[in-house]
């Protein structure tokens, strides 16, 4: 079942006074089956976060269309979309003095009706998400005083609490220690397999993307450079072209996937 269809999206940030450079996303098209783990790779400034913001309908494309489970974005309200897509941004906001539990519980907002108080079921869902992301011990802490990795896990827990079929993640592992990187990515991967959740995640670590993704989309200067299985898109030529880096690529010793080793001269 197709859960997301992106058809020839074009987008540009408006030039402000004094700007000489305007970034454009051009002719972005791809579609995803339900339960796919898609990783987006690309150099800094290639448009990865911009694409996620478009998929979350924070930004509107100038042309092209997006459909989610067959329904066009233009016909979907913000509230309806927030039951379908959750988004963990690259730098989640921490300028409000909420506790971790309150922040995670906000993931239930799309489902609240009437006077809008969370019930026991909502609290139960929030607690279960906190358990999965290993932040239960932080429940009563103020989110303003957490480490980068703790914040990332809080916002992931909030996204899980939203219980959406699509999860957008912008560099979810940048601040995580090694154990939490593996644990969180294993958790996310299991969601795609057991719950058929579709994950779209930006990564910098090509090896992590190779290990966990079904499909990799490489963005280069606002265009789709490659879209396919890790073994078909991760090769020396592509990485040299897009990232300008010399690499050696062999196979992961256990899993039959590409392993990338940097080879600086
Ligand atoms: P990536 O996530 O791949 O590093 P981004 O999508 O954040 O890249 O940004 C792509 C390009 O768009 C960059 O050159 C960035 O400077 C520019 N950009 C990002 N946000 C804005 C904005 N609000 N207004 C103008 N340009 C922006
Ligand atoms: Mg980014």
pLDDT tens sequence across 186-201: 999 999 999 999 999 9
User: Based on the domain organization, do 47 and 154 belong to the same domain?
Assistant: no
In three-state secondary structure terms, 58 is coil
Q: Give the nearest ligand 1 atom to 44 CA.
A: 4
Rounded distance from Cα 198 to ligand 2 centre (Å): 20
User: Based on the domain organization, do 169 and 58 belong to the same domain?
Assistant: yes
User: Based on the domain organization, do 176 and 68 belong to the same domain?
Assistant: yes
Q: Is the pLDDT of residue 91 over 90?
A: no
Within-domain flag for 248? no
Q: What's the CA gap between 27 and 228, in Å, rounded?
A: 17
Rounded distance from Cα 88 to ligand 2 centre (Å): 12
Name the closest ligand to CA 89.
2
Q: Is the pLDDT of residue 62 over 90?
A: yes
Domain encompassing residue 77: 1-84+164-228
User: Based on the domain organization, do 180 and 149 belong to the same domain?
Assistant: no
Rounded distance from Cα 58 to ligand 2 centre (Å): 15
Q: Which pTM does this prediction carry?
A: 0.95
Q: What's the CA gap between 171 and 201, in Å, rounded?
A: 7
Instruction: Indicate whether residue 201 lines ligand 1 (CB < 6 A).
Output: no
Within-domain flag for 19? yes
Closest CA to 83 of 109, 116, 119, 53: 109
Higher pLDDT, residue 219 or 183? 219
**pLDDT, tens digit (0-9, with 9 covering 90-100), for 243-255:** 999 999 999 999 9
Instruction: Indicate whether residue 35 lines ligand 1 (CB < 6 A).
Output: no
Instruction: Indicate whether residue 49 lines ligand 1 (CB < 6 A).
Output: yes
Instruction: Indicate whether residue 42 lines ligand 1 (CB < 6 A).
Output: yes
User: Based on the domain organization, do 168 and 152 belong to the same domain?
Assistant: no
Q: Which helix (H) or strand (E) holds 250?
A: strand 247-251
Query: What's the distance, Cα to Cα, between the start and end of the chain in Å?
Result: 46
Q: Is the pLDDT of residue 92 over 90?
A: no
Rounded distance from Cα 243 to ligand 1 centre (Å): 17
Q: Is the pLDDT of residue 119 over 80?
A: yes
Q: Give the nearest ligand 1 atom to 42 CA.
A: 3
Looking only at the bridges linking them, the beta strands covering 24-33 and 71-72 are unpaired
Mutation pick for ligand 1 pocket among 9, 10, 23 (CB with most ligand atoms within 8 Å): 23
In three-state secondary structure terms, 43 is coil
Higher pLDDT, residue 130 or 16? 130
Return the pLDDT at 16.
79
Higher pLDDT, residue 96 or 161? 161
The half-sphere exposure of 175 on its side-chain side, counting CA atoms within 13 A, is 16
Q: How many domains does the chain have?
A: 2
CATH number of the domain that 8 lies in? Answer: 3.40.50.300
What is the percentage of the chain residues whose pLDDT exceeds 90? 86
In three-state secondary structure terms, 24 is strand
Q: DSSP readout, 126-158?
A: HHHHHHHTT-GGGTTSBGGG--HHHHHHHHHHH
User: Based on the domain organization, do 59 and 175 belong to the same domain?
Assistant: yes
Within-domain flag for 255? no
Rounded distance from Cα 221 to ligand 1 centre (Å): 11
Band (pLDDT 50/70/90 cuts) for residue 109 is very high
In three-state secondary structure terms, 92 is coil
Mean pLDDT, range 89-95, rounded to an integer: 86
User: Based on the domain organization, do 7 and 68 belong to the same domain?
Assistant: yes
User: Based on the domain organization, do 104 and 60 belong to the same domain?
Assistant: no
């Amino acid at each position: 079942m197709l859960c997301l269809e992106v058809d020839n999206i074009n987008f540009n940030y408006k030039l402000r006074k004094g700007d000489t450079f305007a970034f454009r996303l051009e002719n972005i098209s791809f579609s995803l089956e339900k339960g796919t783990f898609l990783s987006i790779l690309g150099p800094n400034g290639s448009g990865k976060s911009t694409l996620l913001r478009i998929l979350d309908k924070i930004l509107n494309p100038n042309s092209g269309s997006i459909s989610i489970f067959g329904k066009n974005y233009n016909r979907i309200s913000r509230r309806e979309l927030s039951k379908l897509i959750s988004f963990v941004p690259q730098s989640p906001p921490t300028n409000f003095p909420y506790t971790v539990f309150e922040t995670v519980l906000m993931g239930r907002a799309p489902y609240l009706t009437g006077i809008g108080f969370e019930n026991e079921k909502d609290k139960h869902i929030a607690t279960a998400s906190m358990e999965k992301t290993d932040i239960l011990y932080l429940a009563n802490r103020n989110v303003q005083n957490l480490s980068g990795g703790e914040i990332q896990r809080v916002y992931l827990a909030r996204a899980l609490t939203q219980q959406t079929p699509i999860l957008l993640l912008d560099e979810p592992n940048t601040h995580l220690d090694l154990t939490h990187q593996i644990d969180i990515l294993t958790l996310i991967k299991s969601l795609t397999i057991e719950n058929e959740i579709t994950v779209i995640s930006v990564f910098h670590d090509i090896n992590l993307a190779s290990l966990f993704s079904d499909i990799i989309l490489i963005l280069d200067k606002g265009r789709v450079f490659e879209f396919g299985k890790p073994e078909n898109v991760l090769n020396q030529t592509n990485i040299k072209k897009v990232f300008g880096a010399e690499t050696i690529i062999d196979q992961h010793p256990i899993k039959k996937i590409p392993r990338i080793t940097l080879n600086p001269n």
